[in-house]
Amino acid sequence: MGSLPRVPGTIIAVKARQVLDSRGNPTVEAEVLTTSSVGRASVPSGASTGTHEAVELRDGDEKRFHGKGVLKAVHNVNEKIGPRLKGLDSGDQQKIDRLMIGLDGTANKGKIGANAILAVSMASARAAANSEPKSLFSHLREARNYTLPVPMMNVINGGEHAGNELAIQEFLIEPVGAKSCTEAIRMGSEVYQSLKSVLISKYGRSAINVGDEGGFAPPLRMTRDALSALAEAIHKSGHGGKVRMGVDAAASTFYDEKSEHYRIDGKELKSDRLEDYYVSLKDEYDLLTIEDPFHEEAFDAFASLTKRVGRGTQVIGDDIYVTNVKRMRKGIEKEATNAVLIKLNQIGTVSETEEAIELAQKAKWSVAVSHRSGETEDPFIAHLATAFASEFIKTGAPARGERVAKYNELLRIEEELGSKALYAGRKF
Ligand code: PGA
Ligand code: ZN
């Protein structure tokens, strides 16, 4: 008797391990082995996390990694998830994800751990793509043409990502005027190098130490000083008019709940004064994007700003939505924003992330697929952004290996697509 026919892409084994992220903290890496392929993936970790995010399971054992170990999550992959996935088709993403969601049984994936679940979800997608074999982006979504995203490069780091006094977490450059993603990455890199010399000449060499996402972390306090340095760097690099600017305020991190004030630039501002401040910054610096301008429950404040600037500016919701369709539906209803940030690990599976993107696109919102401040070398999001034609990808400065891994993958994807590659910058 011969053995049963081996259907390609059928899951044989699932294995996880503890690896390090870009901040030197543990994270989960998973491997899905099928009858015809292997898929590996690892998950990132945020610092300015939203309250409503799916839960990262950490060991809490202070003797190892200061309590940040993920051996429980690894165990959950190896002992709880793995055995249940054996025999499934690695390409049946919905089924795999739903099975894990059911196994966890909580609303926030806190029992098995969103880090455990997401690692397997992503590794299954990769295993399925490798089994076809196909590039990951075309496995995620089959299309005739693909649109590559505008890189939002975080070149000045503040907030919880840096050891300086800037309240605003991210100062971004966005090369919308490039002809391709490849050219956009070149422009971004050139502005980054110009910024380096601008910062040295203004503030000395210590100003070019970098923060968690590879952006410079100059010893500044005032938002306008950072934006002015950026504007100067864009001009100096010769890309004036082609490279726009944006900010991610991550405003929950400088909001004081008790006094209901925002602490920024040495001032304490009420919501309406902060709104006026954003409008003046937008006018002065022609900001293309403003992310998380208010704290994560301030739907009405978001809506008020969107009403004032939303015609020409993308008001992006990150911590307010946490890639969760329930919270996004509330945002759509209230017209809180006209754009959303999408992070796989805020929700914890590939299929729920895709659902969030599709909901945003139905509402005619712009989509920005994003990394986390704690990252790995996994370039999964470059494929996700390409597959779903997101307008933007936010993945740090064009520096530090874990950031560059995503930009380099976009270079490869655009090369592979050749004339079938479009560039989202033309929309702006
Ligand atoms: P985080 O920051 O990964 O630390 O949450 C990224 C962001 O706020 O966009
Ligand atoms: Zn953000």
What pLDDT sits at residue 335?
Answer: 98
Q: Which amino acid is at 60?
A: G
Whole-model pTM: value is 0.98
Q: What average pLDDT does this structure show over 346-368? A: 98
Task: Judge whether residue 203 has pLDDT over 90.
Answer: yes
Of the options 3.20.20.220, 3.40.50.920, 3.30.390.10, 3.40.50.300, the CATH number for the domain spanning 11-133 = 3.30.390.10
Q: Which ligand is nearest to the CA of 158?
A: 1
pLDDT digits (tens, 9 = 90+) for 383-399: 999 999 999 999 999 99
The ligand 1 site (C-beta within 6 Å) comprises 46-49, 248, 250, 318, 341, 370, 372-373
With the most atoms of ligand 1 within 8 angstroms of its CB, the residue from 23, 25, 48, 323 to mutate is: 48
Is 343 a known active-site residue? yes
Q: Which ligand is nearest to the CA of 23?
A: 1
Task: Judge whether residue 2 has pLDDT over 90.
Answer: no
Give the pLDDT band of residue 4 (cuts 50, 70, 90).
low
Give the pLDDT band of residue 6 (cuts 50, 70, 90).
confident
Domain residue ranges in the chain:
11-133, 140-427
CA 252 to ligand 2 center in whole angstroms:
10
Secondary structure, 3-state, the chain: CCCCCCCCCEEEEEEEEEEECCCCCEEEEEEEEECCCEEEEECCECCCCCCCCCCCCCCCCCCCHHHCCCHHHHHHHHHHHHHHHCCCECCCHHHHHHHHHHHHCCCCCCCCCHHHHHHHHHHHHHHHHHHCCCCHHHHHCCCCCEEECEEEEEEEECHHHCCCCCCCCEEEEECCCCCCHHHHHHHHHHHHHHHHHHHHHHHCHHHHCECCCCCECCCCCCHHHHHHHHHHHHHHCCCCCCCEEEEECCHHHHEECCCCEEEECCEEECHHHHHHHHHHHHHHHCEEEEECCCCCCCHHHHHHHHHHHCCCCEEEECCCCCCCHHHHHHHHHHCCCCEEEECHHHHCCHHHHHHHHHHHHHCCCEEEEECCCECCCCCHHHHHHHHCCCCEEECCCCCCHHHHHHHHHHHHHHHHHHHHEEEHHHHC
CA 204 to ligand 2 center in whole angstroms:
29
Give the pLDDT band of residue 3 (cuts 50, 70, 90).
low
What mean pLDDT is reported for the chain?
97
R_g (Cα) of the chain, nearest Å: 21
Is 291 a known active-site residue? no
- Hey, what CATH topology would domain 140-427 get? TIM Barrel (3.20.20)
CA 46 to ligand 1 center in whole angstroms:
5
